[in-house]
Structure 1
Amino acid sequence: MTQLLRNAGLAARTASEHLTDDPLLLCLQILRRLPARLVRPPALFVSRVAPKNSSVTAVLLACIAAGDKAGLERRLAAAVEHGLAGQQARRAADVALAADLPQWADKLLDTVVPGTARLAATVARRRWYGGAMSEAVAVLDGQTGPLARQHARLAAELSVFTGAATVKPPAPTLPVPEPPAPTRSGRQLPARTQTQTPTAAPAARESRRVLHLLTNSLPHTASGYAQRTHSILSAQQAAGWDVRAVTRLGYPVQVGKILARETDVVDGVPYQRLLPARLASGMDARLAQQSAELLRIGRAFRPNVLHTTTHFVNGLVAREVAAALDIPWVYEVRGQLADSWAARRGPEARESERYRLFQEREVDVMRSADLVVTLGETMKRGIMAAGVPEQRIMICPNAVGGDFLKEPGSPQAARRALGLPETGQYIGTVSSLVAYEGLDDLVAAFALLAPHLPDLRLLMVGDGVESAALQKQVRSLGLTGRVIFTGRVAREQTPLYHQALDIFVVPRKNLEVTRTVTPLKPVEALASGRPVVASDLPALREIVHDGVNGRLCPAEDPGALAEALGTLLAQDAVRLELGVRGRDKVLRTRTWSANAALYDDAYQDFSLGRAS
């Protein structure tokens, strides 16, 4: 009961902050977390029956929830044309920002009379959206009440991005530790500044303990990030390591899981939550609070190594706690979150203050880690270009384990087990339904194939912010009966969904983030013996080899994608051979147990060096 009361307090505080900072975005987040079957039908009804030029906030939000982007833009255009002003125009601008339509927000803000209540809040959100962080803070200078609280929050986050914030955990003074010994490979660990910092008693030579700091995890988040993490932890545990995982401060309550417990155990792996009675105000203070909480856990657990992942705020905390415990730390670069942020905003975002500061903090964290782990050669080259020596970088690629190691069954058997129609051919994906995945191009390619292949179906497994828009695209093309949207599925069913396909498709857009980051799902598809058709991008070329285990085709070209798919669909023997080759290569080179051995060697270098 005590934990539930704490969770309720955290949830109320989070909701209150969102109401101050961006109430319309809070409404959208709530709508997106509710079951689609409850939200989309009424949203579709409202977007269809409301007047075509209605700019009522509820109607605009319904357009977003229904995936009716064209209807939303039509209504925003009408609002500008008819001279919408005052609070209505300001709120419509907020909706436009929430829908990633900043150009309409700008036009609407031009119609708002200076001095309109809370205008500064929306203008600040517009600056912040575009990455002009300092300008956003300046807009709110001297404000009072809720706008002063918004100013304080943005200023605190800016201080973290500029590197001015201090996240060091408070600690008592203890004797200065001895300088680190060389590792068994002869490499000297990077020296730390010898200050009067607290240390944990050194773990025994034979101990093998690793403490992971995570952004999110199973069972509350089922993303590729969470799946990779769990696979790593499970493999490390099987290899004899004592594993403990700690998620970020306030998670998962802050994402709506109000019944969360202090610890979840998934497949024997413990995930500890940091759910204090009260969160500090501002990102800088919360990172310091998180550091103190993680240090408390670290002193009790006494790990040999502290291991964290992107993005840089995790690295800031891990760096300070590792220094306090006098142990090495690992920074695992799984993606380029600055590029993910910019991908939603257009090429100009890469010239923004936020993007520059984001990159600077990432480089700072990577350079200060004892070891940087990443997913592939493309990402490794980027890390080296940032100034990290090659000998301090290790590749641990996305991999497979568990049921993906078992011999895959036929597509018909998998469909039967899932309750899907067994006959015909299936193309599709298992993915987060987000814009950079390019799934609108997959729907367009399917529309080109559908008239010629009447038994072909498209299977879309997963959920995300683009789900409503994709379903609307399918309806507009008259393909509703031939496209299956499953929504989010249980983790245990994922291998079956891969096996239900004849071809797995990765139609990613051509963006910086997709050119560099190698995804997990196509590796799982190859392990399932299914050929992969993917966009011809550097990161995907590390997984998909044209004519060997699949096909590559130009990104953002539905016609070329349809041609590649159609050719493979007509060649049963070729598909089978590509699938066999793909599975064989994955089982030889990409398993979680093999990755665990790589981590083991790196950790042993660290821990034996410190214990000797």
Structure 2
Amino acid sequence: MRVLHVLGGLHAAGIEALALQLIRHAPAGVHSELLNADPSAQEMAPAFEQLQREGTLQALHQWHYCDGPKLAWRSFQLCCRTRPDALLIYPCSRPMLWLALGARLAGVRRLAVHLGNTAPVDPQRLRTSHRLLRWFQRLGVVAVPCTQAIVESLQPLPRGLRLGMVIPNGCDTNAIAKRAAAARVQRPPGDPRRVLMVARLDPIKDQATLIRAFAAARQPGWALQLVGDGSERPRLEAIAAELGMNPAEVFLGYRSDIPELLGQADVFAFSTTTAEGFGIALIEAMSAGLPIVASDVPACREVLKEGAAGELLPAGDCQIWTEVLDHLIACVGYRTELSRRSIAHATAWDICLCARQWSRFLLMPGPSSVKLAP
């Protein structure tokens, strides 16, 4: 089976990481190519180029950005030339409609678009999301959510609009566990204890609550580290500085050594909002065996098995976050118990299970979608 994966930029973000892992762990017999429809972002380019060198990714197509009929025409030409059996589109966006149109006219039999974020709460913006999904459906593109939380956020669905089966995201849990364990062994005596969060510095996250809570709970020998970059960085750096923290020590920016950073951390915190679609960083932290605290929002609740794999705290409630962080910092037994819980559930999210689900889905002979009751 020939699969063309489609991204709109090689950002250091969740859908790019998912595409990388799905290509790397594709079942035997799957021929994978990648199309990047917007070359302005290249942070993840080295990782995909490494897949090419390994022979896992057969081709990497990078286009100059275009939209509208030109994008449809280029998609048509590429699909006529490469003859993919299926397209897996990661960004659910309007330009991808044109790309899907070109692929459909070229005869691609199976198209899917990944739904990685919850729908907006605002009724007007929700209707816009519904219209976008309806247009994908008219083009024969199946919208595949990664959590039940996303499905529920889209309710009530307009009459006739269908969604595909839920296919959860995943990561290489075994590789992360090994790399984190190796880094943990190498920690020197007296190494600072660390609370770590890995996420883009984006408005749909809520690093601000974590920064404020850590500042109130911190003890000597403990540090906060935030991995990721984005538009919120200046604001968040200002908050940290006002609270007496050195932004240069707190904000690590984009990093490719996430498993090693997890191995050198003592607590994983994931403060986010109801707009969170999945939170793959939670699975990485579970794989590394870290104690986890996260916002009690639908996506985190789902990934953490309703709190069985980590503590769920009210989103944005700085006082409760402070109290829980204070307890985690002070109590080794509490951290140990949370670690045990995260390790016990990590393998449920392994990327090999995710890749097999996607391959079975893309091999289905026709649109495999289910109508959800409004």
TM-score > 0.5, shorter chain as reference: yes
Please give the secondary structure, in 2, of the residue aligned with 1:212.
strand
Q: CA deviation at 1:547?
A: 5.7
Amino acid at match of 1:552: L
Q: Secondary structure at the match of 1:265?
A: helix
Secondary structure of the residue aligned to 1:325 is coil
Distance 1:566 1:367, change over 3 A: farther
1:267 and 2:267 equivalent? no
2:221 equivalent in structure 1: 455
Matches of residues 472-483 of structure 1 in structure 2 within 5 Å?
472-480=238-246, 483=249
Q: C-alpha displacement at 1:325, in angstroms?
A: 1.2
Summarize the Cα distance change of 1:585–1:274 in structure 2 as closer, same or farther, 3 Å threshold: same
| Bigger radius of gyration among the two | 1
The 1:405/1:379 distance shift into structure 2, 3 A limit, reads same
Cα distance, 1:547–1:602 mapped onto 2, change above 3 Å: closer
Whether the aligned pair in 2 keeps the contact of 1:463 and 1:488 (CA below 8 Å) is yes
User: In structure 2, what is the Cα distance between the partners aligned to 1:580 and 1:222?
Assistant: 29
In structure 2, relative to structure 1, the CA distance for the partners of 1:351 and 1:602 (3 Å cut) is closer
CA distance in 2, matches of 1:355, 1:534: 26
Correspondence for 2:35 among 246, 259, 267: 246
What's 1:95 paired with? Answer: none
Alpha-carbon distance between aligned partners in 2 of 1:293 and 1:482, rounded to the nearest angstrom: 44
CA contact (8 A) 2:195 2:269 kept: yes
* 1:182-201 pair list within 5 angstroms: none
**Cα distance, 1:291 vs. partner?**
1.4
> Which of 287, 295, 302 is residue 76 of structure 2 equivalent to?
295
Q: Deviations over 1:239-291 (max 9, x none)?
A: 3201111121xx21x4599xx99xx633232321123xxx77xxxxx321111
Q: Please state how far the C-alpha of 1:483 moved relative to its aligned partner.
A: 4.7
RMSD: 3.1
Instruction: Tell me the equivalent position of 2:352.
Output: 593
Residue 6 of structure 2 corresponds to residue 213 of structure 1: yes
2:285 is matched with which residue? 525
Deviation at 1:604, TM superposition (A): 2.2
Partner of 1:103: none
Give the corresponding residue for 1:230.
20
1:379–1:357 Cα change, 3 Å: closer
TM-score (norm 1): 0.53
Partners of 2:309 and 2:344 within 8 A in 1: no
Cα distance 1:545–1:559, how it changes in 2: closer, same or farther (>3 A)?
farther
Structure 2: which amino acid aligns with 1:308? I
Q: Deviations over 1:405-440 (max 9, x none)?
A: 537427754655xxxx95242112011112331111
Paired with 1:320 and 1:534, the residues of 2 have a C-alpha distance of 41
Equivalents in 2 of 1:496, 1:503: separation in Å? 14
The CA deviation at 1:520 is 1.1
TM-score with structure 2 setting the length: 0.85
> Alpha-carbon deviation of 1:319?
3.8
Distance 1:446 1:586, change over 3 A: same
1:333 maps to 115
Q: Tell me, what secondary structure is at the counterpart of 1:523? A: helix
Distance 2:139 2:314 in 1: 38
Name the CA distance, whole Å, in 2 between partners of 1:386 and 1:583: 37
> Structure 2: which amino acid aligns with 1:443?
I
Partner residue, 1:14: none
Query: 2:149: which partner in 1?
Result: 378
Structure 2 Cα separation of the partners of residues 471 and 602 of structure 1: 43
- Contact kept, 8 Å, 1:412 with 1:422, in 2: the verdict is no
Alignment check: 8 A CA contact 2:87 2:108 kept = no
Determine helix, strand or coil for the equivalent of 2:223: strand
**Compared with structure 1, are the counterparts of its residues 468 and 382 closer, same or farther at alpha carbon in structure 2 (3 Å cutoff)?**
closer
Which residue of structure 2 lines up, in the alignment, with residue 177 of structure 1?
none
- Amino acid across the alignment from 2:193: Q
**CA displacement at 1:316 relative to structure 2:** 4.0
Q: In structure 2, how many angstroms separate the alpha carbons of the residues matched to 1:541 and 1:547?
A: 6
Q: Answer whether contact 1:412 1:423 (CA < 8 A) is retained.
A: no
Whether contact under 8 Å (2:171, 2:349) holds in the other structure is yes
What residue identity is the alignment partner of 2:216? L
Q: What residue number does 1:96 align with?
A: none
Task: For residue 272 of structure 1, give the secondary structure of its aligned residue in structure 2.
Answer: strand
**Partner secondary structure for residue 168 of structure 2:** coil
* Bigger relative CO (Cα 8 Å, ≥ 6 apart): 2
Give the Å deviation of 1:301.
Answer: 1.2
Partner of 1:182: none
Partner residue, 1:538: 298
CA contact (8 A) 1:239 1:596 kept: no
Runs of 4+ in 1 over 4 A off after TM superposition: 387-392
Structure 2 residue 207 is matched with structure 1 residue 439: yes
2:272, 2:294 within 8 Å by CA — same for their partners in 1?
yes
SS at match of 2:361: helix
327-336 vs 223-232, which moves further: 327-336
Amino acid at match of 2:21: S
Cα separation, 2, equivalents of 1:303 and 1:558: 50
Structure 1 residues 541 and 413: alpha-carbon distance in aligned structure 2, compared to 1, 3 A threshold: same
Letter in 2 for 1:239: A
CA deviation profile, 1:544-598 (whole Å, cap 9, x unmatched): 24663221111111110011122223332332232233223221x2111111111
Q: CA deviation at 1:442?
A: 0.8
The amino acid of 1:210's aligned partner reads V
- 2:371 — aligned with what? none
Are 1:533 and 1:551, in contact at CA under 8 Å, matched by a contact in 2? yes
Determine if contact 1:312/1:365 at 8 Å carries over to the other structure.
no
Offset of residue 370 of structure 1: 4.9
In the alignment, the residues of structure 2 paired with residue 569 and residue 482 of structure 1 have an alpha-carbon distance, to the nearest angstrom, of 22
Contact persistence 1:213–1:318 (CA under 8 A): no
Which protein has the bigger helix share?
1
Residue 485 of structure 1 pairs with residue 256 of structure 2: no
2:195 counterpart SS class = strand
For the 8 Å contact 2:170–2:350, the answer to whether it is kept is yes
* Contact 2:36 2:61 (C-alpha < 8 Å) held by counterparts: yes
* 2:106 aligned with 1:324: yes
Q: In structure 2, do the counterparts of structure 1 residues 545 and 331 end up closer, same or farther at CA, with 3 Å as the change threshold?
A: closer
- Give 1:505 shift: 0.8
Amino acid at match of 1:506: F
Per-residue deviation, 1:391: 8.5
Q: Which string of whole-angstrom CA distances, capped at 9 and with x for unpartnered residues, describes residues 47-85 of structure 1?
A: xxxxxxxxxxxxxxxxxxxxxxxxxxxxxxxxxxxxxxx
Match of 2:265?
501
- Which residue number corresponds to residue 147 of structure 1? none
> Displacement, 1:373?
1.6
Q: Name 1:91's counterpart in structure 2.
A: none
In 2, the alpha carbon distance for the partners of 1:384 and 1:479 equals: 42
What is the CA–CA distance in structure 1 between the aligned matches of 2:208 and 2:268, rounded to whole Å?
Answer: 15
- The number of equivalent residue pairs is 358
- Aligned partners of 1:256 and 1:212: how far apart in 2? 16
User: Which stretches in structure 2 are left out of the alignment for 5+ residues?
Assistant: 369-374
